[in-house]
Structure 1
Amino acid sequence: MRKLLLQMQMSLDGYVADKDGGMDWMVWSYGNDWTWNTTLRTYHTDLMASIDCILLSRKMAVQGFTAHWAALALRPDNPQSHFAENLTKAHKVVFTKTLARSEWENTTLAKGNFVDEILALKQVSGKNIIAFGGAGFASSLIKAGLVDEFHLIVNPVILGAGLSPFKEIRGSLGLHLIESIPYDHDIVVLKYLKKEYGL
């Protein structure tokens, strides 16, 4: 069965946006000028090559994610183009109750129960699945026990308050550290696996 990976940038105290929804505190962003160092670029490009299905919230899909990466996939002169090509080639599933269609190729709109939809996707043969989304979407995935592996890009900042993907968890969620990778500018990528995998 395929695993569902969740990747998110966050503050040291576990927020993915400040209390006003701002994210300008993040050291690295997906701007047109990819200022990330070579090692971090390689990590992201390799991660995208290891999956063939992407889960997106409606909000993320319509607020620029789709248009941004679809455009960059057509620009081989840009260092992000290979990363963007992997996004474009992957099967994308947008969870929505309101969208009628998507402009991005290889995209399916999922309008049923998201738990049932994702469990069915996990049974399909292929590479792993990755989820991108805001705090609300991520929180729903975590609460439902659907996330198998966490890739947390921890920024060297404490916000004190903000939007958390862990706010709906009741009880504890045991994790096993797979890898901890430090990068420039005091960034750390932490990879965790749910402990139910026998570790």
Structure 2
Amino acid sequence: MGRIVISENVTLDGVVEDPTGEEGFRHGGWFLRLGDKDRAAWAELELTEARATEALLLGRRSDEWFAARWPARRGAWADRLNGLPKYVVSTTARAPEWSNATGCEGKVLNGDPVEEVPALREELDGDIVVYASIRLAQTLLEHGLVDELRLTVFPFVLGAGRRLFDGTSLSDPLRLVSTRTVGDDLALLTYRPAHGSRRRRS
């Protein structure tokens, strides 16, 4: 059985919106404020995570964003991400946009993610990682379909912007299972459901 893992970059006050400054958010581009040492440490963290990932689960917009940037990139991290199977939650797409020349497996999940994602978890083994895809991540959190939550916390306070937990209500507590300093100023916080792997509530 697979594990659904949400892996997100967040500011100290929980904002996930527009880290690269390409969406027009007035506080966008906060990721780009990292110093070289922290950026290198973050990239190493991401490579380690990618090597332990079996598939990616994405929303349609995030799939399109990655597809426009990552296939042309080179290096161990890019090669690993480009080669992973991608599963995209969408009611309009016919196939994942982000694929590669080797024809990696993957498909579009056209149905309700609350029904489709548990089936995907039963089908696959290993970590199924959600990058970006905030709307999808919020749906999975709201319905108790997340096995692990990894938050890389950036030392910036924006005071405004879309937050990961906006509009969600988590009645089940999360348990902090590990903390790690990344570079000089980043922190990786890993949480799991306090009562084990959560399933959809009836």
From 49, 52, 69, give the equivalent of 1:50: 52
Structure 1 residues 56-135: aligned runs within 5 Å: 56-62=58-64, 64-72=65-73, 75=74, 81-103=75-97, 104-105=99-100, 106=104, 107-135=106-134
Q: How many residues align?
A: 186
Is residue 177–residue 191 contact of structure 2 (8 Å, CA) maintained in 1? yes
Give the superposition deviation at 1:91: 1.3
- 1:126-164 CA-to-partner distances (Å, cap 9, x unmatched) read 221101123322211111111111110111111222101
Give the superposition deviation at 1:47: 1.1
Is residue 38–residue 184 contact of structure 2 (8 Å, CA) maintained in 1? no
Q: Could you tell me which amino acid in structure 1 is paired with residue 14 of structure 2?
A: G
Q: Could you tell me which amino acid in structure 2 is paired with residue 69 of structure 1?
A: W
Which residue number in structure 1 is paired with residue 39 of structure 2? Answer: 36
Give the superposition deviation at 1:111: 0.6
The 3 A distance-change label for structure 1 pair 120 and 21 is farther
The 3 A distance-change label for structure 1 pair 122 and 179 is same
Is residue 45–residue 83 contact of structure 1 (8 Å, CA) maintained in 2? yes
Q: Does 1:25 align with 2:30?
A: yes
Query: What SS class does the counterpart of residue 31 from structure 2 fall into?
Result: coil
The 3 A distance-change label for structure 1 pair 171 and 100 is closer
Give the superposition deviation at 1:117: 1.3
The percentage of counterpart residues that share the same residue type is 26
Unaligned 5+ runs, structure 1: 76-80
Give the superposition deviation at 1:173: 3.7
Alignment RMSD:
2.5
Unaligned 5+ runs, structure 2: 19-23, 198-202
Is residue 95–residue 111 contact of structure 1 (8 Å, CA) maintained in 2? yes
Which residue number in structure 1 is paired with residue 200 of structure 2? Answer: none
The separation in 1 between residues aligned to 2:66 and 2:37, in whole angstroms, is 15
TM-score of the two chains, using structure 1 as the length reference: 0.82
Which residue number in structure 1 is paired with residue 5 of structure 2? Answer: 5
Say which is worse superposed, 162-171 or 20-29, in terms of deviation: 20-29
- 1:22-57 CA-to-partner distances (Å, cap 9, x unmatched) read 53112578xxx99722x4333211211112110111
The 3 A distance-change label for structure 1 pair 34 and 158 is closer
